Amino acid sequence: MPLTHYVTLGRSGLRVSPFALGAMTFGEALGPGFGSNVQESQRIIDRYLALGGNFIDTANFYMRGQSEKILGDHLAHDREKRDRVVIATKFSGNLYPGDPNGGGSNRKALIAACEQSLRRLRTDYIDLYYLHIFDKHAPIEETVAAMHDLVQAGKVRYLGISDTPAWKTAQAQLLAQVRGWAPFIALQIEYSLSERTVEGELVPMARELGLGVVPWSPLASGRLSGKYTRENAGQVTGGRAAMVANRLTEKDYAIVEVLARIAKEVDSTVPRVALAWLRTRAGVASTLIGARTLAHLDDNLQALELQLSAEQVSALDAVSTPQLPFPFGLLQGGPSVYAGGTTINGEPSQPSPILPSKRGDHF
């Protein structure tokens, strides 16, 4: 499955590659070791595009704006190339300390952020514009109306939402539907073998309301990279290791052990197997892969060629099963209450012992 096996994003006709190129690490504004210099970033962009990839993701505050600028400077000289690429960026981040309207989701902030992103990206339109993170101080109807106005003005083609509770995302989408505003077509959320709680509310909501799921951090910020194992705990240092080490859990180690076993079975690597598993999940449209070097990009892209068996997927499902909040545990027994011992959509049921066992056995 190459990058050119495009998928439509959510309930839209927008075609995107199955892996999106994450540009969060383009630039060195946070110092050496955290990102790629301009030249390496450009090489990564060129390799991704040469292989047929068309979906690049950034945000207004990634590398304090340098990510957008690198992307814009590199594509601006070739209008045909820019028009072929689906550029996604986001608003919310405040780049202006001391200014309460420098970030967030109110009309003033988000329209200003859009204009600034257009300048850094050196383009006159953004293909996919995300609300980056839930702003509890901005009425959602104000945010959705302003985003719709950007679409109407031709500055934005499609809308997305990221890192926002399911109830608020559903409210935003239903507001758009009722008012006749531009709908949201994408939901960007953290999703990996180590972060599956999104399967409780966010993923089902996205499938029901027409949002394609775009996972970020599919390797759990490096915890599923294969570098960190139970055997070498505390021994990996340098770079991001200090941040990752503090987040590693017993469950992470167990997941990596299963990943390593399957990687050996299919002659592949731990990261590729983790990425291949995520592609099997319902609702997932295009997965964000970050790359600080060409080698990282090339290695991750090989996950598109990897097909896991049903047994391998089941093993990964079992070791990573999340603990979901109420009422999900209760709902596992739902069919015994409402299905009456019948099979519905392939799912058999056993009647609850507190319900009638035969017709007529009720008042």
CA 78 to chain centre: 28
Which residue in 6, 48, 62, 191 is the catalytic one? 62
- How far is CA 145 from its chain centroid? 24
Measured distance between the N- and C-terminal CA atoms of the chain, rounded to whole angstroms:
58
Provide the residue count of the chain: 363
Q: Are residues 80 and 45 in contact, defined by beta-carbon separation less than 8 angstroms?
A: no
The CA angle 297-84-129, to the nearest 5 degrees, is 80
191 given a catalytic annotation:
no
Measured distance CA(266)–CA(252) in Å, rounded: 21
Burial (CB < 10 A; 0-12, 13-18, 19+), residue 328, is middle
**Which residues, listed in sequence order, are joined to residue 215 by a DSSP beta bridge?**
189
Peptide bond into 327 cis (omega under 30): yes
Q: How far is CA 286 from CA 53, 144, 196, in A?
A: 11, 24, 17
Distances (CA, A) of 231 to 226, 257, 290: 11, 10, 26
Burial class (CB in 10 A: 0-12, 13-18, 19+), 73: middle
Instruction: Kindly list the catalytic residues.
Output: 62
